[in-house]
Amino acid sequence: MLDRIEASLSSLAPAEQRVARLVLADARTFARLPVRELAARANVSKPTVVRFCRSMGYDGLADFKLKLAGSVSEGVPFIHRSVDADDKTGDVLVKVVDNAVAAFLQYRNAASTVAIERAATAIASTWQTGRRIEFYGAGNSGIVAQDAQHKFFRLGITSLATSDGHMQVMSATLLGPGDCAIIISNSGRTRDLMDAAEIARKNGATTIAITASGSPLASACHIHLAADHPEGYDRYSPMVSRLLHLLVIDVLATCVALRIGSPLQPLLQQMKDNLRAKRYA
C-alpha cells in the first residue's frame, strides 16, 4: 500500500502530495490522528485529506486509515480519539468498533499463557476442594465482577461478587488457605481493592489481579493477568476497558471449565433441563 502511494505521487495534485508524504513519513502516526490534525500537519484543508484518500481508491478517511493500519501490521490503537465533529455515522461506527477490536488484538498478542494457566489451575482447584471463589471490582470493573460471577455460574461454578468496598474488605477477611479472590481494576490503584487484595493474601487465599501492568494491584497479587488499556476518560474508553476485562474473564472461565472437565457435565445438563422445563411450563 505504501509503495503504491509513493508510485502515485507524481499524478497527485500538489496539496494531495503533501498528504501522501505525511503518510509515507510516518504511517502509524497518520493512522491514529484525527482529520483536523492531519490537515494541519500537511498544511491542507480537511476535504483535501479526504480527497487524497478517495484518489487512492478508498471510500474515505476512515476506510483509508483502517487499511493503512493493516498494511503496517498494526491495529488502529484507540482510534476513538480521532472522532471528529464532521464524522458521519458510518465513520463513528468504524472508529468505535475498531477501538474495541484493537484492544482485543493487543491483549491476544501480549497475554501471558503461563499466567492464564496458573489462574485457571488455582480457580479449578478452589472449586474442586469446595472452597470460596470471589470477584471484586469497583465502578466499571464492579460490573465486570458481577458478569464474571454470572459467567462462572453458567458453567456450574458458584462464586460471590461484590463492588462495595466495605463488603470486599469484610469478605476478604473471611477468606483463608484454599480460597481464591479475583480482583478486577483498570487502573490497579483503587484503595478499597488494594486493601481487599492485601487482606486476602495475608489470610492465605490465592489472589488474582486482572489489571494494568506495573500497577500496585498487579504487584500485590499472586497472579497477574495483564489487561492494559490507557486510563483516558474519553467518551469510549471506560466501555472498552470493561469489554477487555470481560474478554479476559471469558478466556479464564473457559480454561477453568476445561480443567474441571467431566465433573461439570452432569451439573450443566441438569441446569439446562431445569431451565428448559421452566421455559416451556
pLDDT on residue 274: 80
* Inside any domain, residue 195: yes
CA distance 57 to 248: 38
> Same domain, yes or no, for 150 and 213?
yes
Chosen domain end from 10, 42, 72: 72
Q: Is 269 exposed, middle or buried (0-12, 13-18, 19+ CB in 10 A)?
A: exposed
> Same domain, yes or no, for 115 and 102?
no
Cell (9 digits) for 147: 458478569
- Short-list 230, 228, 231, CA closest to 209: 228
Does this model's pTM top 0.85? My answer is: no
Cell (9 digits) for 116: 492464564
* Inside any domain, residue 179: yes
> Same domain, yes or no, for 252 and 142?
yes
Chosen domain end from 18, 46, 72: 72
* Inside any domain, residue 77: no
219: domain CATH number?
3.40.50.10490
> Same domain, yes or no, for 27 and 86?
no
> Same domain, yes or no, for 198 and 251?
yes
Provide the number of structural domains found in the chain: 3
Cell (9 digits) for 33: 490522528
> Same domain, yes or no, for 63 and 171?
no
CA distance 186 to 242: 8
Sheet holding 223-226, edge to edge: 160-162, 133-137, 180-184, 206-211, 223-226
pLDDT on residue 237: 54
Chosen domain end from 72, 102, 129: 72
- pLDDT tens for the chain, 281 residues long, are 888 899 999 999 999 999 999 999 988 888 888 899 999 999 999 999 999 999 998 888 888 887 787 666 544 444 445 566 777 787 777 777 777 887 888 888 888 999 999 999 999 999 999 999 999 999 889 999 999 999 998 888 899 999 999 999 999 999 999 999 999 998 899 999 999 999 999 999 999 999 999 999 999 999 999 998 765 555 555 578 889 999 999 999 999 988 888 777 777 777 778 877 776 55
- Residue-range definition of the domain harbouring residue 265: 111-277
> Same domain, yes or no, for 132 and 222?
yes
45: domain CATH number?
1.10.10.10
Three-class HEC string of the chain: CHHHHHHCHHHCCHHHHHHHHHHHHCHHHHHHCCHHHHHHHHCCCHHHHHHHHHHCCCCCHHHHHHHHHHHCCCCCCCHHHHCCCCCCHHHHHHHHHHHHHHHHHHHHHHCCHHHHHHHHHHHHHHHHCCCCEEEEECCHHHHHHHHHHHHHHHCCCCCEEECCHHHHHHHHHCCCCCCEEEEECCCCCCHHHHHHHHHHHHCCCEEEEEECCCCHHHHHCCEEEECCCCCCCCCCHHHHHHHHHHHHHHHHHHHHHHHHCCCHHHHHHHHHHHHHHHHCC
pLDDT on residue 72: 62
